[in-house]
Chains A and B, each alone.
Chain A
Amino acid sequence: MKKILTLLFLLTLPISLYADNDAPKGIIKITPRTAPPLSLENMDGEKFTLSTKNRRWSFVHFWASWCGPCRKEMPTIQSVIQAMSKDNIDFVIVNTAESEDTIFSFLGAVAPEINTLLDRDGLATELWKPRGLPSTYLVDPDGQIQYVVIGGQDWQKEHYQTFLRQLSPAKLHDKP
């Protein structure tokens, strides 16, 4: 019986480690607010619209090549996208107001696997009111921004990935 209880405890640990006010450093729980619209084309000309249809969390990240921390952070985002390709979260990467040439040369150098959305005039980004660049939002399956991420983070670190993995519709609806 003791072994079973220990096992149950260990299985639930990843979720209990990250109560709302105990997110990893730099991830801030906010009073939920509806995510602004986001409908943009990616580098291949394919249109993407953020919606609640998929019932998944979204990691919405705004960046620009001139932002120093973006250069450092982007490879770690590429890594986490690859590591979490089978997880219940969509990664939505948005470049803010830069030319395609600039974006191609930047991503080619630092994160060639990332296909970013192009906010050509920067207006979509402004609707989200980021604190600065880079800026990341975690949007729940109901389209509510639940967390903001301050500054660039090293998303390859295990505690960030553990935190992202424990985000799920189940957790959202478990809340009172």
Chain B
Amino acid sequence: MISRMNSVSLHAKYPSIFLLLISTLTSSNLQAAPERYVIENPKLKMVVIPRTAQQMAAFYEGREFPVKAINATGDACFFTIGIHNKSQQILWLDTDKWTITTAGGTLSLLSRAHWTQRWKELNLQQRFQSTFRWTLLPNQLDFQPDEREGGNITLARINTPFTLTARFTTKIDNLDEPSIITFKNLRCAP
């Protein structure tokens, strides 16, 4: 089942990232609140919310990030992801196995290593780097039954629509049949 809806209180069910981001939005941000995309099946529920550059800037500005770092976040496209493991099995998240497909080919998510390098170039204080890392979706995680986690994924800013394919497995080695969730026609929020 896939549905698109405007901001509702679903974020309250997910840890940290949903509330933290939404709670920092200004009224002007809220007027431009982007849509959220939801896919739910018997095993899991996944929510994707495109974030505008202005929303991300407001969030990191609220965390006292320096301007140079805030400007750097503007080069990337942010999506807040919420995942709920509805099954009674452990589901493995491994974002290295996720794919971004455009009409012109495939793209990779920006990795944690990318951001570490970027912050190093900008000589960003360690505490800001730490906070930034906490706002990212874990790269790999064994979702426990009924666990909900959230966080941001980032990719280089593009103007064309793309498809996000997320894979979840019940074993870390990915040898079993994965649960595949596909969000079509996503776009970076401006």
Q: Which residues of A are interface residues toward B (Cβ below 8 A)?
A: 25, 28, 64, 66-71, 96-99, 102, 120-123, 125-126, 131-134, 150-152
In contact, A132 and B130 (Cβ under 8 angstroms): no
In contact, A122 and B126 (Cβ under 8 angstroms): yes
> Which residue of B is nearest A25, CB measured?
B146
In contact, B147 and A151 (Cβ under 8 angstroms): yes
Q: Does B144 contact A (CB under 8 A)?
A: yes
Within 124-143 of B, Cβ neighbours of A (below 8 Å) are at: 125-131, 133-134, 138, 141
> When the two chains form the complex, which single residue of B24, B131, B144 contacts A97, counting CB atoms closer than 8 Å?
B131
In contact, A121 and B127 (Cβ under 8 angstroms): yes
In contact, A131 and B63 (Cβ under 8 angstroms): no
Top 10 A-B residue pairs of the complex, sorted by shortest distance between their CB atoms: A68-B19, A122-B130, A67-B16, A121-B126, A97-B127, A97-B130, A66-B20, A97-B131, A121-B127, A69-B15
Q: How far is the CA of A151 from the CA of B146 in the complex (A)?
A: 11
Number of interface residues, chain B, beta carbon within 8 A: 31
> When the two chains form the complex, which single residue of B12, B131, B150 contacts A122, counting CB atoms closer than 8 Å?
B131
In contact, A64 and B23 (Cβ under 8 angstroms): no
Interface SS of A by simple majority: loop
> When the two chains form the complex, which single residue of B125, B127, B138 contacts A98, counting CB atoms closer than 8 Å?
B127
In contact, B138 and A132 (Cβ under 8 angstroms): yes
In contact, A123 and B16 (Cβ under 8 angstroms): no
Q: Does B18 contact A (CB under 8 A)?
A: yes
In contact, A133 and B134 (Cβ under 8 angstroms): yes
In contact, A151 and B15 (Cβ under 8 angstroms): yes
In contact, A133 and B130 (Cβ under 8 angstroms): no
Given A97-B131, A121-B126, A132-B151, does the pair A67, B144 have CB atoms closer than 8 Å?
no
In contact, B134 and A64 (Cβ under 8 angstroms): yes
Q: How far is the CA of A151 from the CA of B12 in the complex (A)?
A: 12
Q: Does B36 contact A (CB under 8 A)?
A: no
In contact, A70 and B127 (Cβ under 8 angstroms): no
Q: How far is the CA of A123 from the CA of B8 in the complex (A)?
A: 35
In contact, B144 and A150 (Cβ under 8 angstroms): yes
